[in-house]
Amino acid sequence: MADEEGAGLMSSMSQFIKELVRDANEMDRLGLFEKRRMLERAINIIRDFREQIGASQSTFKRDVVKDLQTIAASIEDQSDRDVSRAFLEAAGAIRALKILMDSTPQHHDEGQDV
């Protein structure tokens, strides 16, 4: 069951990455609320993934979460181009963390006696 839940989570993360990329290319169809909501969702996912793999903010040269928070907090002052870049950056960060999670042994061996 845990494997099914994990597979479902990874599948939903893949869907969210696709949604971020699609929306990055269709900024004009999103309102300020949707843009902020997508960024906030990405921030929460990145934080959750980091926590699950045991990565701290100091692990990263530049903290994408802080950048995304800044853009989300001032979304009304951001150009569509800047928000689009933020969406793509979020998608890249989530994709990289998803790969790290997939390759972390503790996530593959859950529920198994070692």
Question: pTM higher than 0.85 for the full model?
Answer: no
Contacts of 97 (CB under 8 A, 6+ apart): 46, 49, 50, 53, 55
Q: Establish if 85 belongs to a structural domain.
A: yes
Q: Establish if 102 belongs to a structural domain.
A: yes
Q: Establish if 16 belongs to a structural domain.
A: yes
**Range of weakest confidence among 8-12, 37-41, 92-96:** 8-12
Contacts of 36 (CB under 8 A, 6+ apart): 72, 75
pLDDT 10s digits, 64-85: 999 999 999 999 999 999 999 9
- The 8-class DSSP code of residue 110 comes to T
Name which residue leads in pLDDT, 47 or 6: 47
Q: Establish if 67 belongs to a structural domain.
A: yes
Q: Establish if 113 belongs to a structural domain.
A: no
Q: How many domains does the chain have?
A: 1
Domain hosting 18: range is 2-108
**Range of weakest confidence among 9-13, 39-43, 58-62, 66-70:** 58-62
Q: Establish if 114 belongs to a structural domain.
A: no
Type of residue numbered 57: Q
Q: Establish if 26 belongs to a structural domain.
A: yes
